[in-house]
């Protein structure tokens, strides 16, 4: 393998608190990073960097771990411009809009769906995302859910079965029948393609008992649970997620003290998705309350055509800092190491010996500029597994 030293890094975020300033970000000023093929083998002050076969000059830019976007819904067709327009004219967000995307997705060919996933992934990559999760949930038949997951698996290992996004319109009069399908034939067809099982636990989607049945059935098939929880209203989702040791409870917008206590006591990451609150004009999740209680927080895009049509983690970081009162350090950690925790991964989201060489260069001296200079395309270079890809 060829070794590469990247030097002249103004500030390096390692997310290894044993390095640099000893903060959770493990921030090293005037840093170097050494890669061996697709792995990081050394990180630290440039003055102490070991020799390598080749040298790359970061020219005073900041280097951060590639973003880990642990929540997106990319297998879909069409868009919902009219719905967004109506919302910005005062209409409330309703999960029922999902049906519009279900119809467009069912009508699309495999090639169209795959091209869409590739297109949004390319967008995300150019904005610094090197690991992403994506879900089904716009098919809602055995065939359409399985095909969505098969297509997702062509693009990522982090694939989530969300047959329980809403009750399929085909089962409008028989929601119990739909839960039987999601926990039966649909699960059988989907499990081979997926790592995770998810459910939208919300009024108008699935209640606590239905969500428990769906997640438990998925677990029995070897899938690991994650939950769309407490997005539009208070409810049982967060506590169910902790009880079932879900990797992540996502949204967490409406939380009781008992919900926060449950998250603080368990292994479930709270994934915050401020693109959704931005695009639905909803109230912001209380990130400070979660962080101050010691909850592990991830920050992701929720990229989907209804509630959050952004693939940009930098945009979400800016929102998290400005509107959810996270510090720039907390937001950066949550979008990298936090996302990795939400996917139960230790090989990504950090730049320390042994981790994957997934790195994002910023045209700025530090990661703070991601929030300080919102909307500015600061991602100047992206490497995945030691290879420059954007």
Binding-site members are 71, 73, 80, 138, 165, 228, 231, 302, 304, 306-307
Q: Give CB contacts under 8 A, 24+ apart, made by 44-51.
A: 44/19, 44/20, 46/7, 46/8, 46/9, 49/5, 49/7, 50/5, 51/5
Instruction: Write out the binding residues for Zn(2+).
Output: 71, 73, 228, 302
Nearest distance from C-beta of residue 102 to ligand NIG, angstroms = 9
Of 228, 345, 350, 384, the residue at the interface with ligand NIG (CB under 6 A) is 228
Chain residues 184-203 in contact with ligand NIG, contact rule CB under 6 A: 200
SS3 of residue 263 by DSSP:
helix
Q: Is 302 in the site for Fe ion (CB under 5 A)?
A: yes
Q: Is 158 in the site for Fe ion (CB under 5 A)?
A: no
Question: Which residues are CB-contacts of 108 (< 8 A; sequence separation ≥ 6)?
Answer: 77, 78, 116
Tokens 């009024």 belong to residue = 203
Assess contact for 378 and 362: CB atoms under 8 A: yes
Assess contact for 119 and 126: CB atoms under 8 A: no
Q: For residue 72, which phi and psi values (nearest 5 degrees)?
A: -150, 160
Nearer to ligand NIG, 97 or 218 (CB): 97
The residue range among 240-248, 297-305, 334-342, 363-371 that interacts with Fe ion, by the rule CB under 5 A, is: 297-305
Largest Cα–Cα distance of the chain, in whole Å? 69
306: partner contacted, choices ligand NIG, Fe ion, none (Cβ within 5-8 A by kind):
ligand NIG
Nearest distance from C-beta of residue 311 to Fe ion, angstroms = 13
Gap between the Cα atoms of 56 and 69, Å rounded: 27
Q: How many residues bind ligand NIG (CB under 6 A)?
A: 15
Please choose, from the candidates 186, 91, 185, 184, the residue with its C-alpha nearest in 3D space to the C-alpha of residue 137: 186
In sequence order, the β-bridge partners of residue 360 are 64, 382
Nearest distance from C-beta of residue 307 to ligand NIG, angstroms = 4
The residue range among 3-11, 165-173, 255-263, 295-303 that interacts with Fe ion, by the rule CB under 5 A, is: 295-303
Nearest distance from C-beta of residue 67 to ligand NIG, angstroms = 18
Nearest distance from C-beta of residue 50 to ligand NIG, angstroms = 45
Report DSSP state, residue 164: E
Chain residues 97-136 in contact with ligand NIG, contact rule CB under 6 A: 97-98, 101
Gap between the Cα atoms of 218 and 123, Å rounded: 31
Which string of x and - marks every residue 284-323 that binds ligand NIG (by CB under 6 A)? ------------------x-xxxxx---------------
Provide the residue count of the chain. Answer: 390
Q: Is 231 in the site for ligand NIG (CB under 6 A)?
A: yes
Nearer to ligand NIG, 46 or 162 (CB): 162
Gap between the Cα atoms of 234 and 232, Å rounded: 7
Of 263, 276, 316, 382, the residue at the interface with ligand NIG (CB under 6 A) is 276
Q: Which residues bind ligand NIG (CB under 6 A)?
A: 73, 95, 97-98, 101, 200, 228, 231, 276, 302, 304-308
């Amino acid at each position: 393998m060829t070794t590469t030293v990247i030097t002249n890094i103004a500030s390096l975020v390692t997310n290894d608190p044993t390095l640099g300033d000893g903060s959770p970000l493990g921030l090293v000023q005037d840093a170097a990073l050494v890669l061996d093929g697709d792995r990081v083998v050394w990180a630290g002050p440039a003055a102490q960097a070991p020799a390598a076969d080749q040298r790359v000059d970061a020219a005073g830019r900041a280097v951060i771990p590639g973003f880990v976007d642990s929540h997106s819904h990319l297998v879909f067709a069409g868009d919902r411009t009219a719905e967004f327009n109506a919302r910005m004219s005062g209409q409330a967000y309703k999960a029922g809009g999902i049906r519009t995307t279900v119809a467009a997705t069912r009508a699309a060919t495999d090639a169209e769906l795959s091209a869409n996933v590739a297109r949004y992934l390319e967008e995300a990559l150019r904005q610094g995302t090197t690991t992403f999760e994506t879900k089904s949930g716009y098919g809602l038949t055995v065939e359409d859910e399985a095909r969505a997951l098969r297509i997702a698996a062509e693009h990522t290992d982090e694939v989530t079965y969300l047959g329980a996004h809403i009750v399929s319109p085909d089962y409008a009069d028989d929601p119990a029948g739909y839960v039987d399908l999601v926990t039966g034939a649909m699960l059988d067809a989907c499990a081979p393609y997926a790592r995770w099982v998810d459910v939208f636990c919300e009024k108008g989607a699935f209640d606590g008992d239905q969500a428990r049945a769906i997640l438990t059935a998925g677990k029995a098939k070897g899938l690991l649970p994650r939950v769309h929880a407490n997005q539009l209203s208070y409810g049982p989702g967060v506590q169910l997620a902790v009880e079932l040791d879900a990797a992540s409870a996502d949204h967490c917008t409406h939380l009781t003290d008992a919900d926060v206590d449950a998250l603080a006591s368990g292994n479930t990451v709270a994934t915050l998705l401020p693109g959704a609150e931005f695009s639905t004009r909803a109230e912001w999740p209380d990130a400070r309350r979660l962080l101050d209680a010691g909850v592990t927080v991830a920050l992701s895009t929720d990229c989907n055509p209804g509630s959050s049509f952004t693939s940009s983690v930098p945009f979400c970081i800016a929102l998290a800092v400005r509107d959810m009162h996270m510090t720039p350090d907390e937001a950066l950690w949550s979008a990298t190491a936090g996302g990795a925790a939400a996917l139960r991964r230790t090989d990504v989201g950090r730049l320390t010996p042994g981790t994957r060489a997934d790195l994002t260069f910023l045209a700025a001296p530090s990661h703070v500029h991601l929030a300080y200079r919102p909307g500015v395309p600061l991602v100047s270079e992206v490497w995945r597994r030691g290879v420059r890809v954007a």
